[in-house]
Amino acid sequence: MLKSSPFEIIFVAFVALLGLSMVALARRKDDKRVQLYLKLTAGLSVALYVALQIGNTGTWRSTPALIVLLACLLCLNFIGKPGAARAMRIAGAACMTIVALNAAILLALPLRNLAPPGGPYAVASSAFMVEDGSRSGVYLDPPGQNRRFMVQAFYPAAAGAEAYPRLAWIEAEGLRSAFASFAGLPAFTMSHLGRIQANAREGAPAAEGRFPVLIFSHGWTGSKIMHYDLAEELASRGIVTLLTDHPYGGLFVGFPDGSDSPWYGDALPERAKDTGFLDAARYLVGSYASDITALVELLRTGALPSPLAGHIDASSVALGGHSTGGGAAVLAAMKNPGISGLVALDAWVEPLGAEVDTGLRLPQLHIGSAQWKGGLNEPWLARLEAASGLWASYRLNASTHVDFAMIRYITKAARLIGWAGSLSEQRYAELCTEAAADWLEALFAGEADAFERLPLGDEAIFDLRRGVRR
């Protein structure tokens, strides 16, 4: 469902029509009917912009059209003066040029709500903070300050959830600004993302019963919001999903007391410029893994806050993550016996070093991108596979590492700048989001071979590996 107001699109179209009309009718500027037509077109354009403001449905994306509309209005005020025809042609041509740019902005930065999940449950969501008293002074935290991180929980909702407000995808202004800064853009260029809505109902009560859990971690420079699609799909199928937000590794983490933790770039120096890169990477992955362990402990002690309290099956907990978060999930699974399974997207296991040779005896699903094929991480992933038990892995054709992070909801231009591959969004959902959900659903249901749920014969995947060892 499109979130963009139709008035915003129509407004830009009317301004384009005004500019075209001014160029085409400049010679007939003294014709009263032409003057009336131009003034009506300009007036309708102004009315549409006023409607955008009254309805609070406009965004910065229509600002270029507004600027040229004001210029055209100024020009029309001098329609009977000498040189008016030339001024009309110049203003109209400039108008069409800038409106064409405006149209490109609307196409490149669309506004649409997250696609609805496919499971039988309505989905609810709530956030809570975890404080780990066993660690302090992590990265920029002052000595003595306990490690804190945020969790966004997605869970099956009880009847009546539709009465609760929908969760905003990127509600925090600080996170939107951090996205813009990371891309080298002014903060306002991401302000429109605050209008995108998820499907989950914020704060709604949980459905009756106890549900299995997936703890999922984002990558370096990531955020919990980059995996709302997977979380909503799993929750709609009866699997509680806890998305961790790791301070200093993520772009921005806001806390209930109003404080926040920005991205700390020095936590992972450039590989080519710093001989301590792998030590820093190991510490980074370890900090994520320790966050995961703290959350696992909360699950096992039954200390989760409402509305999750009493609705968790602590004997059925899987871990997962993307990139750095995937490597952290592997490390945390090694440190926490009793984990049910692991699902990882381009898991960065290189920082684990020789510890990958310990392997994991739990079922694992690894989905990789074509971009990371043959990279520095691949030999380490192969060593993990060789030392592990139940295993399935495959890569997605025409995909990038960032495809796993909902990049297409931020910009349709991601493919042009190399952030996204050419794999369509629908195919990505089938081969990654839905496939991972199918596999976890079968795993938690105790099916003998959950791997049979995977799209094993699909031509859009390659490097398929599956097997049972030890």
The pLDDT tens digits for 91-148 are 999 999 999 999 999 988 888 899 999 999 999 999 999 999 999 999 999 999 999 9
- Is a pLDDT exceeding 80 seen at residue 173? yes
8-31 mean pLDDT: 91
Shortest CA distance to 315 belongs to which of 241, 238, 212, 214? 212
What is the pLDDT at residue 424? 86
22-40 mean pLDDT: 91
Global pTM value: 0.93
Report pLDDT digits (tens) over 183-239. Answer: 899 999 999 999 999 999 999 999 999 999 999 999 999 999 999 999 999 999 999
Q: Across 323-419, where does the E strand assignment appear?
A: 341-345, 364-369, 391-396
- Is a pLDDT exceeding 70 seen at residue 4? no
Cα(298)–Cα(377) distance, integer angstroms: 32
Cis peptide before 307 (omega within 30 of 0): yes
Structure tokens at 417: 């700048």
- Is a pLDDT exceeding 90 seen at residue 58? no
250-277 mean pLDDT: 94
What is the pLDDT at residue 468? 66
Cα(362)–Cα(337) distance, integer angstroms: 10
57: confidence class by pLDDT, cuts 50, 70, 90 = confident
DSSP H helices, 272-397, are 277-301, 324-335, 378-387
Report pLDDT digits (tens) over 400-430. Answer: 999 999 988 888 888 888 888 988 888 999 9
What is the pLDDT at residue 2? 43
What is the pLDDT at residue 466? 87
Q: Which residues contact 425 (CB under 8 A, 6 or more apart)?
A: 408
- Is a pLDDT exceeding 50 seen at residue 1? no
- Is a pLDDT exceeding 70 seen at residue 469? no
Q: What are phi and psi of 163, to 5 degrees?
A: -75, -15
Whether 366 contacts 393, CB under 8 Å? yes
The number of residues making up the chain comes to 470
What is the pLDDT at residue 111? 87
243-252 mean pLDDT: 98
What is the pLDDT at residue 329? 98
- Is a pLDDT exceeding 50 seen at residue 314? yes
Report pLDDT digits (tens) over 318-335. Answer: 999 999 999 999 999 999
Q: What are phi and psi of 154, to 5 degrees?
A: -120, 135
Terminal CA-CA length for the chain: 48
453-469 mean pLDDT: 87
Burial of 201 (0-12, 13-18, 19+ CB in 10 A): buried
* Neighbouring-strand partners of residue 243: 152, 216
What is the pLDDT at residue 5? 62
